[in-house]
Amino acid sequence: MRLTEPAHPHLDLDAVVHRLAAGERAWAGSPLAERRDVLLQVMEAADANAAEWVRIAARIKQLDPASPLVGEEWVSGPYALIGYAQALQETLKRLADGAPVLAGYDVGQAPGGRLAVRVLPHGTFDRLLLNGFHAEVWTKPGVTEERLHGDAGLGQRAPRRTNGVALVLGAGNIFSIPPLDVLYQLYAGNRTVVLKLNPVTDPLLPVFRAVFQPMIDRDLVEIVGGGPEAGSALAHHPGVTAVHMTGSEATHDAIVWGGGEEAAAAKAAGTPKLRKPMTSELGGVCPIIVVPGKWSAADLRHQAEHVATQRLHNSGCNCIAGQILIISSDWAQKDHFLTELRRALKAAPARPAWYPGCDARVRSARGLHPAAEAVGGTPERTLLTGLDLADPGETAFSTEYFGPVLGVAELPGTGAEFLDAAVTAANERLRGTLGAGIIAHPRTIKALGGHLRTAIANLRYGAIGVNAWTGLGFLTPRATWGAYPGHTPEDVQSGIGVVHNALLLDHAERTVLVGPFRPSPRSVLHGEMSISPKPLWFVTNRTAAATGRRLTRFTARPRWRALPAIFASALRG
């Protein structure tokens, strides 16, 4: 199937919605054990179709099948879906057995009257495969532990109380997003689901149908292709009771408010065109805050690769891509770090600017910034230095580039003073609240003490990574994924609601990730408690495809005998 070929061009949308409404009634009568069984069948189908999924994904993204970058498609494709299904089925089993969802999970305190649920590592295999990485889900302030435990389970706490038919408008950039969103609507929302694919992903429709066949056969899920007209028709269909989308703020507003002058008038009057619940994940301008310290030459190189990865993964076409580097003008090693960053951006493996409109977005960014640097590696890679956080008209702070464009802004100060100023700037100057990163040397973290967690609490983002790209939060199935709470349809920014969340937690505010500052063996030599090598998601990982394939198979069928080959491949990365 060609990229431009429409899928199901003559599909009867009324019949689809009617069939899913009938499926909802059957779903209401399905016991939790049966719901878990069908989820396990989907997981098995994802494993069986994983290689074909990755083959088609690489073709869509114009990747050489032999390139290590194909590892991105394994990890952000079938691996993410299979890992989520494994975690979710465990939650369903606990609910079916009448056991507490959070039994065995550490629940501690976080600043501001919040609770923190440790969701990574989970079990021995996590401790081995992601050694040194940790993740917590923080609740909103004031939530008691009794309430947290009592509300875990969401729609599966009362499975007979279903909530109609949901429409999922699928993302076109990361190919596990549409299937993951389907599962969240079905289980957390307790709704049957029609998935409308982004036209970019239409070639994957046969694979997705094969993966979800156990649910399609039960009229729980349907998957359709087509253009914006099909999506709009489904969103406004009277039989669809809720909508979830991943995409741009502009697309969200067109669905909710309409277009042009109509939209402006509707917003002013508070009369949305779409009058049903809508959740969303919409990206934004994500900051990376580098706290100054005394780093070795190897530290500077590694963290430059880390920042480059956060911009260049998937050609920069990620809602969670780092876009604005906030760095101290007083850092003695600032120029050395920026030199290493330019080198890392240039040296990263070349790949096409495959996502529609990428070239135009890069040209626009360069046109608005005459001093923009074409750093090399590919023609599109661009560095914008000298951005002024005090400039209210700086478009790099309000425009998500969705391409390989990285901006650099400077603030004075060191230590807690710099960190606090950077947090304030990220909160007040950058559009969106999906994810933010902090990079700091272990000595700096030790000097900051409890002030670091206070700064994290003050940083209003849905995922925050300390020495870890927030993209790991996307891959952590028990973590929540979504914007910081509080956005409205009138000012949606990075969206409303969360997804993933395999523990089906209520009252979540954010996910906080912490990783090792250095890869092994340097981490061990410097006293860090981590044996993890260069992360699999680094764009410079030479064995990412092989390791990603092995890890996907292992996640579907965890077994001790598979670990040596995974470790050997990962260490060669």
Which tens digit of pLDDT belongs to each residue from 465-518? Answer: 999 999 999 999 999 999 999 999 999 999 999 999 999 999 999 999 999 999
**How many structural domains does the chain have?**
2
User: Do 194 and 224 form a contact (C-beta atoms < 8 A)?
Assistant: yes
The burial of 100, by beta-carbon neighbours within 10 Å (0-12 exposed, 13-18 middle, 19 or more buried), is given as middle
Instruction: For residues 12 and 233, give the distance between their C-alpha atoms in angstroms, rounded to a whole number.
Output: 11
Instruction: For residues 329 and 355, give the distance between their C-alpha atoms in angstroms, rounded to a whole number.
Output: 35
Instruction: For residues 271 and 257, give the distance between their C-alpha atoms in angstroms, rounded to a whole number.
Output: 8
Is residue 146 domain-resident? no
Amino acid identity of residue 393, one-letter, is G
Instruction: For residues 566 and 569, give the distance between their C-alpha atoms in angstroms, rounded to a whole number.
Output: 5
Residues 302, 202, single domain; the answer is: no
Q: What is the pLDDT of residues 233-276, one digit of tens each?
A: 999 999 999 999 999 999 999 999 998 888 888 888 889 999 99
Is residue 442 domain-resident? yes
Predicted local distance difference test score (pLDDT) of residue 36 = 98
Residues 269, 329, single domain; the answer is: no
Instruction: For residues 163 and 208, give the distance between their C-alpha atoms in angstroms, rounded to a whole number.
Output: 24
Strand boundaries in 211-370, DSSP class E: 221-224, 242-246, 278-281, 286-290, 322-328
At a CB cut-off of 8 Å and minimum separation 6, what does 367 contact? none
Residue labelled with tokens 């600017």: 353
Question: What proportion of the chain, given as a percentage, has pLDDT over 90?
Answer: 94
Which of 239, 266, 281 marks a domain boundary? 281
Is residue 306 domain-resident? yes
- Would you say residue 9 has pLDDT above 60? no
DSSP string, 215-236: HHTTTSEEEE---HHHHHHHHT
Predicted local distance difference test score (pLDDT) of residue 447 = 98
Is residue 183 domain-resident? yes
Q: What is the pLDDT of residues 414-444, one digit of tens each?
A: 999 999 999 999 999 999 999 999 999 999 9
The order of strands in the sheet holding 382-387 is 107-110, 114-120, 134-139, 508-514, 463-466, 435-439, 286-290, 322-328, 405-411, 382-387, 373-374
Residues 267, 290, single domain; the answer is: no
Choice between 268 and 103, residue whose per-residue pLDDT is larger: 103
Residues 388, 519, single domain; the answer is: yes
Residues 299, 169, single domain; the answer is: no
Res. 3 pLDDT band, cuts 50 70 90: very low
Which of 281, 314, 340 marks a domain boundary? 281
Choice between 406 and 266, residue whose per-residue pLDDT is larger: 406
Which of 264, 281, 298 marks a domain boundary? 281
Is residue 101 domain-resident? yes
DSSP string, 464-504: EEESS-THHHHH-TTSEEEPPTT-BTTB-TT-SSEEE-TT-
Predicted local distance difference test score (pLDDT) of residue 199 = 96
The order of strands in the sheet holding 278-281 is 221-224, 192-196, 165-169, 242-246, 278-281
Q: Which of 310, 11, 355, 25 is nearest to 174 (CA)?
A: 355
Q: Which domain holds residue 406?
A: 286-525
Q: How many CA atoms are closer than 13 Å to the CA of 103, on its beta-carbon side?
A: 10
Instruction: For residues 338 and 285, give the distance between their C-alpha atoms in angstroms, rounded to a whole number.
Output: 20
Residues 72, 197, single domain; the answer is: yes
Average pLDDT of the segment spanning 279-283: 96
At 116, give phi and psi (nearest 5°): -125, 120
3-state SS, residue 206 = helix
314-334 in b/e form (b: 16+ CB < 10 A) is bbbbbbbbbbbbbbbeebebb
535-564 in b/e form (b: 16+ CB < 10 A) is bbbbbbbebbbbbbbbbbbbbbeeeeebee
Instruction: For residues 248 and 138, give the distance between their C-alpha atoms in angstroms, rounded to a whole number.
Output: 26
Res. 103 pLDDT band, cuts 50 70 90: very high
Q: How many CA atoms are closer than 13 Å to the CA of 261, on its beta-carbon side?
A: 0
- Would you say residue 281 has pLDDT above 70? yes
Average pLDDT of the segment spanning 12-40: 97
Residues 272, 295, single domain; the answer is: no
Beta bridge partners of 436: 464
Average pLDDT of the segment spanning 131-144: 98
Instruction: For residues 522 and 528, give the distance between their C-alpha atoms in angstroms, rounded to a whole number.
Output: 9
Res. 2 pLDDT band, cuts 50 70 90: very low
Residue 494 sits in a domain of what CATH number? 3.40.309.10
Predicted local distance difference test score (pLDDT) of residue 171 = 96
Residues 304, 176, single domain; the answer is: no
Residues 201, 339, single domain; the answer is: no
Is residue 392 domain-resident? yes
User: Do 193 and 221 form a contact (C-beta atoms < 8 A)?
Assistant: yes
Instruction: For residues 32 and 432, give the distance between their C-alpha atoms in angstroms, rounded to a whole number.
Output: 37
Token representation of residue 66: 């032999």
Q: Which of 532, 477, 514, 572 is nearest to 179 (CA)?
A: 477
Residues 181, 215, single domain; the answer is: yes
- Would you say residue 10 has pLDDT above 70? no
The reported pTM is 0.96
Sequence-ordered alpha helix ranges (H) in 369-512: 415-429, 442-448, 451-458, 471-475
Residues 293, 265, single domain; the answer is: no
Q: Which of 427, 137, 495 is nearest to 283 (CA)?
A: 495
Is residue 475 domain-resident? yes
Instruction: For residues 166 and 338, give the distance between their C-alpha atoms in angstroms, rounded to a whole number.
Output: 46
- Would you say residue 189 has pLDDT above 70? yes
Q: Which of 176, 175, 157 is nearest to 85 (CA)?
A: 176
Instruction: For residues 132 and 147, give the distance between their C-alpha atoms in angstroms, rounded to a whole number.
Output: 30
CA torsion sign, 428 to 430 to 434 to 435? negative
Residues 235, 91, single domain; the answer is: yes
SS (H, E, C) 158-182: CCCCCCCEEEEECCCCCCCHHHHHH
Is residue 509 domain-resident? yes
User: Do 299 and 483 form a contact (C-beta atoms < 8 A)?
Assistant: no
Residue 243 sits in a domain of what CATH number? 3.40.605.10
Task: Indicate the DSSP class of residue 77.
Answer: I
Q: Which of 159, 151, 168 is nearest to 190 (CA)?
A: 159
Q: Which of 406, 403, 362 is nearest to 384 (CA)?
A: 406
- Would you say residue 155 has pLDDT above 90? yes
